[in-house]
Structure 1
Amino acid sequence: MPEPVIDILMYHSISDRSGPTCIPPEVFAGQMRVLAESGLPVISLDDLVASRDASVRLAPHAVIVTFDDGFQDFADAAWPVMEPLGIRPIVYLPTGHIGGAEGWRGGTEPPRPLMGWGTIRALAREGVAFGSHTVTHADLDALTGDMLEAELRRSQQEIADQLDRPVHHFAPPYGIAGDPVRRRVAAYYQTSVGTRLGQADAGSDLHDLPRLEMFYFTDLGHWRRHLDGRGATYLARRKAMRAVRGAVMKPWQGV
């Protein structure tokens, strides 16, 4: 029997802003509709972790939906589409920016607002999961010692305190996490997702999980073919193009 394949979808902002971290609301709605029509199960990262000791058996092809940064447009434009379809995502929060706006390199102008804790708590009650995206949206490879530990632990603890539930999942800003950082992340979190383009499987490193950047699937034909198992050639081409681009761009420019 083939190993299960897991598509971990990566979103940031659902808005009409320009750039690869923004998906127009009508395109996002189409992507979610195609996903629902595919019949593929949408699972959680907890399910993926549980599958490692056979507590949960994964379908041959499953999907996990993730959002980085906690932008207000998640509540305004994304969740109202997903909730009626029964799609439950995870949102990674940079806790130092909650209730404010993006203020990190690679952001847009004017800065996009982030959800406040009241909105986040309400979404958690409705079935949205939340993970950590550090405190300040820092490049973790540039930090060591107490500064790195603070970014990992303070964000985890604040989310846990605000939502009254443990926080097991992490996403490093910009997808940057070398081996030393991943070892520290693994000390606190059960999973960590990056920005490396690809599909996960039953043997993937839980602290270096690849994702599908959904900016590459704004053409719903490509998206439908991928979910039908007919998108290998397109995905391989995108990987090759991204590798070339990554050789000449800063890491945060390719997110």
Structure 2
Amino acid sequence: MNPKRSLILTVCVTILIIISVTLKWPLNIDFGRHNQEAKPNVAITPILNPTSNPASPPPLPSNNLNEPKMSKFPEEGVPVLMYHSISTIPGNSLGVPVKQFTEEIEWLHQQNYHSLSLEEFNQALTNKAPIPEKPILLTFDDGYEDNYSSAWPILHQNGYRATFFIVTNSVGPGMMNWDQINDLASQGNSIGSHTVHHLDLSKLSSKQQENELSISKQELVNHLDISVQALCFPSGRYNKTTPKLMSKLGYKLGFTTHPGKVHLSDDLSTLKRIRISGGMPLASFQKLFP
């Protein structure tokens, strides 16, 4: 190369470098050598043409399965199922094994039965408010700890709520504690009274009965900050004084152990239930729902 031209080129490059550094311009000057630094292996995701995207799925119809059809109180009555402990208790049918309970709840779900809250049940009975087709009320007596640890996860998985009748003097070790009961209430379940000491109400004086009903109700209100609407009679026993005391103390519904479904014409203070016993075959359970 001509020495004069080489000098001019060197001066020009030097000036260009100085200007670039001063103004922070990017430089990409190829002096005829290959870049020795390996380029990263970056996968580039192509941008799709918006017109090639599939059409959005149509909206679900308003009468989809998540929105049950509402109806009047069924003439054949509403089944109120009565459970106690959800566990295996040798020689005691009050304990329903977890496997049996799971099969029963899953079958109810498959048959499109819809669980009711106590408030919905009460409004349907007293004001003839509409309720979902194929309604059911699920109740649990005594407040066993397995109602929370075993029954509730199965109920929740199938989209069901239940009513738990609590013996307030038994809350604690071996039974549900107040935190567990509060958690059930906060998740849409209903809580009712099963008295303070689970005594035979039919053998108590009027004053003793009133203490059992009023103190248990107040305990539930104090611990859970809820409205207590229902009373479940211990062992299903009561006398003619019991309904009068219920009305005086603000109870709206009373549940017995008398077998059968609940109808609109029934006495709200002595409602029937269907006992579910441990060891009941699934076929026998299914026959309860003709």
Calculate the TM-score normalised by the size of structure 2.
0.70
Aligned to 2:258: 196
Provide Cα deviations, 1:174-215, integer angstroms capped at 9, x if missing partner: 100122112212333110111111111111111111101011
Aligned to 2:149: 76
Aligned to 2:112: 39
Match of 1:70, as an amino acid?
G
Match among 272, 277, 282 for residue 210 of structure 1: 272
In 1, distance between residues paired with 2:227 and 2:126? 20
Aligned to 2:240: 179
Greater RCO (Cα-Cα under 8 Å, separation 6 or more): 1
In 2, distance between residues paired with 1:61 and 1:126? 22
In 2, distance between residues paired with 1:176 and 1:64? 21
Q: Are the counterparts in 1 of residues 114 and 160 from structure 2 also a CA contact under 8 Å? A: no
Q: How many residues end up aligned between the 2 structures?
A: 216
In 2, distance between residues paired with 1:156 and 1:210? 21
Match among 101, 122, 138 for residue 28 of structure 1: 101
Aligned to 1:14: 86
In 2, distance between residues paired with 1:15 and 1:186? 35
* Structure 1: runs of 5+ lacking an equivalent: 101-112, 230-255
Kindly report the root-mean-square deviation, in angstroms, between the aligned alpha carbons of the 2 structures.
1.8
Provide Cα deviations, 1:16-65, integer angstroms capped at 9, x if missing partner: 11212110010000010111111122112222221234452245642100
In 2, distance between residues paired with 1:32 and 1:190? 27
Greater fraction of residues in helix: 1
Aligned to 2:205: 144
Match of 1:96, as an amino acid?
N
In 2, distance between residues paired with 1:41 and 1:203? 22
Aligned to 1:221: 283
Structure 1 stretches of 4+ moved >3 Å: 52-55, 58-61
Identity of aligned residues (%): 28
Match of 2:256, as an amino acid?
G
In 2, distance between residues paired with 1:215 and 1:32? 14
Quote the offset at 1:224 in angstroms: 2.2
Match of 1:7, as an amino acid?
P
Quote the offset at 1:135 in angstroms: 0.4
Q: Are the counterparts in 2 of residues 6 and 64 from structure 1 also a CA contact under 8 Å? A: yes
In 2, distance between residues paired with 1:147 and 1:5? 34
Task: Give the structure with higher Rg (CA).
Answer: 2
Match of 1:129, as an amino acid?
S
Q: Is 1:122 aligned with 2:183?
A: yes
Aligned to 2:166: 93
**Secondary structure, counterpart of 2:272 in structure 1:** strand
Match of 2:280, as an amino acid?
T
Deviating more after overlay: 215-224 vs 42-51? 215-224
